[in-house]
């Protein structure tokens, strides 16, 4: 008896759905891409319950004839390619013919559509992959797709969905970015309670960016390109692939343009890096790497920029059929693409900043710079410079260090603090410079792994790290993260008691929110209030911050709030209340803490060390970075070969 059987179509579709649609965001993506492929100029999206209850996409595209509307739900039914050869030159966003049957297999689905060639429209109702109803209907040209109760018949999948806020955040981010890629079109996205995005046709990407993100974000971005490049232009570069014989070089012309953030803008993750190939939102490690290279020595490692990169290539240069969700792409000439991304962004960054800000020896850099047309040369120069590991950042704050003063111990300043930060502490020890430690003055050593309360501050290195000692050994404390830890614990403690004290701002700070930030702001509003914020909606895209946590400087309040919203939004897990509070406290602490490159007098150093010794977890900052380095007496003696 045969045990193998062909699965019935609805089951096959449910299985396929697992690959194509894994969450409301991917449904929205497929529907939106279909509308764009249909030539729509106006796309209207409504969402309920984070897309779990409803996603409705209405477009004014070409629509479908009655027969096509029925055909569209067959597996692999597509109007976009005809044969395997067409796969090499896909110009549309879709081509696999899987989305509609897959989505309809796991939802209650209603399609209404009319093609210009027909007088009446078609209405189809499908539930869990089964056709329930087909009828003629009056419908304006275009298409409406309504997806209700996603995964209602696959409870296991439904369980894996994240909170409504997270899912809505994904949809908002997706629609926002398609809106950015298509400035000439109208996009609207609304949930039951409010409108998240509403943009009318814009003249160019810059104007669209302004509509979507607001002027504040735009100010943080540098526009680069368009840069056009053909393979032949790379003939003298050794690292690139040679054009393959028989491939016409004109076919390899590429264009790149977009926006990248100024070096001051630092993100903790890659969530705001968007890359489009032929206006298709794509994920690509190669491009992320190229972007990282472009920012080498500009951003500290572990920090990421904001980027919107638009790459246009002949369709035959891109394989989009790598993954069912079509977000991964493969390039035929990958190193060409890599270098194009790196060079054009690096060029944009350099052009937007005065060259002397780079840590290079002056005569050599300037003389050579004029001759150096290509970016590689500039980069090599930067690498040759004596301080290659210093980021541009540091050198902006301070002039580039010479080799001699790169390790400089600054003894504590004698004058007492005028800043409100440290409460008065006993006067400094007798040693005038604070550089001598008398072992007899030190109480017994602290248990290993604990931060002692008897540290003598000796001075600062780079006005960033406190050097201190006790009988146990030598300690180096990162002043920023140490203060961060102290403020973090204090903030959490205040919050667990009741509300955190807020400080009324002299003038409200008006801040623009991106659509996905608005979603998070609505969701966590109450918790923000309990953490010392008072902020109200102020126009469609802006909020006015009236009160901020007392530790934070007024001018930082806007940035802080945005960082909190991004931090929560980026988290795809459903955050528990405790986790949310932790995130908020960590952000507040980070903004309120003393910065690096800040001179501290002895009182302040003592205060900081003492407060740190009382912290519950003094050894790491709220983000997990180390606060303290210790060189024990034993290690020192060993190093000097005394034991």
Residue nearer to ligand ADP on the CB measure, 79 or 598:
79
Residue nearer to ligand ADP on the CB measure, 64 or 273:
64
Minimum Å distance from CB 329 to ligand ADP?
A: 16
Determine how many CB atoms are found less than 10 A away from the CB of residue 402. 9
Minimum Å distance from CB 44 to ligand ADP?
A: 12
- What CA–CA distance (Å, rounded) separates 631 from 643? 15
Minimum Å distance from CB 531 to Mg ion?
A: 43
Residue nearer to ligand ADP on the CB measure, 63 or 618:
63
Residue nearer to Mg ion on the CB measure, 79 or 220:
79
CA 320 to chain centre: 24
Minimum Å distance from CB 94 to Mg ion?
A: 3
Choices 34-42, 345-353, 403-411, 414-422 (CB under 5 A): range interacting with Mg ion: 34-42
Locus of tokens 């702001």: 521
Determine how many CB atoms are found less than 10 A away from the CB of residue 633. 17
Q: Which of 94, 142, 452, 502 contacts Mg ion by CB under 5 A?
A: 94
Residue nearer to Mg ion on the CB measure, 34 or 417:
34
Distances (CA, A) of 354 to 116, 249, 250, 381, 399: 56, 36, 35, 16, 14
- Residues lying near ligand ADP in the complex (CB under 6 A) are found at 30, 34-35, 38, 59, 61-64, 72, 77-80, 94-100, 143
- What CA–CA distance (Å, rounded) separates 282 from 337? 14
Instruction: From the list ligand ADP, Mg ion, none, pick the one residue 592 interacts with, judged by a Cβ distance below 5 to 8 Å according to partner type.
Output: none
Minimum Å distance from CB 539 to ligand ADP?
A: 32
Minimum Å distance from CB 326 to ligand ADP?
A: 9
Residue nearer to ligand ADP on the CB measure, 99 or 375:
99
Exposure class string for 163-179: b at 16+ Cβ within 10 A, else e = ebbbbbbbbbbbbbbbb
Residue number, nearest CB to ligand ADP: 94
Q: Which residues contact 287 (CB under 8 A, 6 or more apart)?
A: 275, 309, 311, 337, 338, 341
- What CA–CA distance (Å, rounded) separates 529 from 536? 11
Residue nearer to Mg ion on the CB measure, 99 or 519:
99
Question: Partners of 198 in the beta sheet?
Answer: 188
34 is a contact residue toward Mg ion (CB under 5 A): yes
Q: Where are the alpha helices (DSSP H) in 372-462?
A: 375-384, 392-397
Strand, coil or helix: what is 33?
helix
Minimum Å distance from CB 100 to ligand ADP?
A: 4
- What CA–CA distance (Å, rounded) separates 607 from 613? 10
Strand, coil or helix: what is 574?
coil
Instruction: From the list ligand ADP, Mg ion, none, pick the one residue 571 interacts with, judged by a Cβ distance below 5 to 8 Å according to partner type.
Output: none
Locus of tokens 């796969």: 87
Minimum Å distance from CB 56 to ligand ADP?
A: 12
- What CA–CA distance (Å, rounded) separates 561 from 511? 9
Q: Which residues contact 117 (CB under 8 A, 6 or more apart)?
A: 65
Minimum Å distance from CB 58 to ligand ADP?
A: 9
Minimum Å distance from CB 239 to ligand ADP?
A: 37
Instruction: From the list Mg ion, ligand ADP, none, pick the one residue 618 interacts with, judged by a Cβ distance below 5 to 8 Å according to partner type.
Output: none
Q: Which helix (H) or strand (E) holds 527?
A: helix 515-530
The torsion angles phi and psi of 517, rounded to 5 degrees, stand at -70, -35
Residue nearer to ligand ADP on the CB measure, 143 or 191:
143
Minimum Å distance from CB 40 to Mg ion?
A: 13
Question: Partners of 223 in the beta sheet?
Answer: 259
Choices 27-35, 221-229, 292-300, 358-366 (CB under 5 A): range interacting with Mg ion: 27-35
Instruction: From the list ligand ADP, Mg ion, none, pick the one residue 331 interacts with, judged by a Cβ distance below 5 to 8 Å according to partner type.
Output: none
90 is a contact residue toward Mg ion (CB under 5 A): no
129 is a contact residue toward Mg ion (CB under 5 A): no
Q: Which of 21, 32, 81, 99 contacts Mg ion by CB under 5 A?
A: 99
Asked whether 145 and 56 are in contact (CB, 8 A), the reply is yes
Minimum Å distance from CB 81 to ligand ADP?
A: 8
What is the DSSP code (8-state) at residue 406? G
Q: At what angle do helices 205-219 and 164-181 cross, to 10 degrees?
A: 120
Minimum Å distance from CB 136 to ligand ADP?
A: 18
As a three-state string, the secondary structure of 296-351 is: CCCCCCCCECCEEEEEECCHHHEECCCCCCCCECEECCHHHHHHHHHHHHHHHHHH
Strand, coil or helix: what is 290?
helix
Locus of tokens 């629509």: 63
Q: Where are the alpha helices (DSSP H) in 192-316?
A: 205-219, 285-294
Residue nearer to ligand ADP on the CB measure, 100 or 565:
100
Q: Order of strands across the sheet with 121-127?
A: 130-137, 121-127, 108-114, 142-148, 54-59, 42-48, 186-191, 195-199
Residue nearer to Mg ion on the CB measure, 99 or 150:
99
Residue nearer to Mg ion on the CB measure, 81 or 307:
81
Residue nearer to ligand ADP on the CB measure, 67 or 635:
67
Instruction: From the list ligand ADP, Mg ion, none, pick the one residue 566 interacts with, judged by a Cβ distance below 5 to 8 Å according to partner type.
Output: none
Minimum Å distance from CB 98 to Mg ion?
A: 8
Exposure class string for 49-77: b at 16+ Cβ within 10 A, else e = bbbbbbbbbbbbbbbbbbeebbebbeeee
Choices 90-98, 276-284, 335-343, 410-418 (CB under 5 A): range interacting with Mg ion: 90-98
Strand, coil or helix: what is 614?
coil
Residue nearer to Mg ion on the CB measure, 37 or 551:
37
Instruction: From the list ligand ADP, Mg ion, none, pick the one residue 97 interacts with, judged by a Cβ distance below 5 to 8 Å according to partner type.
Output: ligand ADP
Instruction: From the list ligand ADP, Mg ion, none, pick the one residue 324 interacts with, judged by a Cβ distance below 5 to 8 Å according to partner type.
Output: none
Residue nearer to ligand ADP on the CB measure, 100 or 313:
100
Residues 434-463 interacting with Mg ion (rule: CB under 5 A): none
Instruction: From the list Mg ion, ligand ADP, none, pick the one residue 243 interacts with, judged by a Cβ distance below 5 to 8 Å according to partner type.
Output: none
Q: Please give the residue ranges that form the binding site for Mg ion (CB under 5 A).
A: 34, 94, 99
């Amino acid at each position: 008896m045969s045990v193998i059987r062909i699965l019935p179509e609805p089951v096959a579709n449910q299985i396929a759905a697992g690959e194509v649609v894994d969450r409301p965001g991917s449904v929205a993506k497929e529907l939106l891409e279909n509308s764009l492929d249909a030539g729509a100029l106006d796309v209207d999206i409504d969402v309920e319950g984070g897309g779990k209850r409803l996603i409705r996409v209405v477009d004014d595209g070409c629509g479908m004839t009655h027969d096509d509307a029925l055909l569209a739900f067959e597996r692999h039914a597509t109007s976009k390619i005809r044969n395997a050869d067409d796969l090499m030159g896909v110009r549309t966003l879709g081509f696999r013919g899987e989305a509609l049957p897959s989505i309809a297999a796991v939802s209650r689905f209603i399609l209404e559509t009319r093609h210009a060639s027909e007088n009446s429209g078609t209405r189809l109702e499908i539930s869990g992959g089964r056709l329930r109803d087909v009828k003629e209907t009056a419908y304006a040209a275009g298409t409406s797709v309504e997806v209700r109760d996603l995964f209602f018949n696959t409870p296991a999948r439904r369980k894996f969905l994240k909170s409504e806020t997270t899912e809505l955040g994904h949809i908002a981010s997706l629609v926002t970015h398609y809106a950015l890629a298509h400035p000439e079109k109208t996009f609207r996205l609304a949930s039951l309670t409010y409108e998240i995005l509403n943009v009318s046709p814009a003249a160019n990407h810059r104007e669209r960016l302004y509509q979507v993100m607001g002027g504040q974000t735009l100010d943080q971005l540098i526009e680069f390109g368009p840069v056009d490049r053909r393979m032949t232009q790379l003939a003298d570069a050794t690292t690139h692939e040679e054009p393959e014989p028989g491939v016409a070089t004109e076919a390899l012309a590429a264009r790149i343009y977009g926006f990248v953030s100024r070096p001051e803008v630092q993100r903790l993750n890659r969530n705001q890096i968007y890359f489009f190939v032929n206006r298709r939102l794509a994920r690509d490690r190669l491009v992320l790497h190229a972007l990282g290279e472009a920012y080498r020595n500009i951003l500290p490692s572990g920090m990421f920029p904001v980027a919107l990169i638009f790459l246009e290539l002949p369709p035959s240069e891109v394989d989009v059929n790598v993954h069912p969700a079509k977000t991964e792409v493969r390039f035929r000439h990958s190193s060409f693409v890599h270098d194009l991304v790196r060079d054009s962004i690096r060029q944009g960054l350099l052009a937007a900043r005065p060259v002397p800000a780079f840590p290079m020896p002056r005569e050599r850099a300037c003389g050579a710079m004029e001759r150096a047309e290509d970016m590689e040369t500039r980069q090599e120069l930067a690498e040759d410079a004596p301080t290659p590991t210093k980021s541009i950042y540091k050198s902006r704050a301070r002039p580039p260090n010479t080799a001699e003063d790169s390790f400089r111990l600054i003894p504590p300043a004698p004058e007492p603090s005028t800043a409100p930060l440290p409460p008065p502490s006993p006067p400094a020890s007798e040693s005038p410079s604070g550089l001598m430690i008398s072992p007899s003055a030190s109480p017994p050593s602290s248990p290993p792994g604990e931060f002692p309360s008897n540290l003598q501050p000796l001075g600062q290195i780079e006005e960033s790290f406190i050097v201190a000692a006790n009988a146990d050994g030598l300690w180096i404390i990162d002043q920023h993260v140490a203060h961060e830890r102290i403020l973090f614990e204090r903030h959490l403690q205040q919050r667990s008691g009741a509300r955190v004290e807020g400080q009324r701002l002299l003038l409200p700070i008006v801040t623009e929110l991106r659509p996905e930030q608005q979603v998070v702001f609505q969701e966590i509003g109450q918790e923000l209030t309990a953490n010392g914020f008072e902020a109200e909606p102020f126009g469609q895209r802006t909020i006015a911050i009236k009160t901020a946590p007392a530790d934070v400087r007024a001018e930082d309040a806007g940035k802080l709030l945005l960082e909190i919203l991004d931090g929560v939004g980026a988290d795809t897990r459903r955050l528990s209340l405790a986790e949310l509070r932790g995130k908020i406290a960590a952000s507040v602490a980070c903004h309120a803490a003393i910065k690096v490159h800040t001179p501290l007098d002895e009182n302040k150093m003592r205060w900081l060390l003492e407060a740190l010794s009382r912290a519950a977890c003094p050894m790491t900052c709220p983000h997990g970075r180390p606060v303290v380095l210790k060189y024990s007496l034993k290690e020192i003696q060993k190093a000097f070969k005394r034991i």
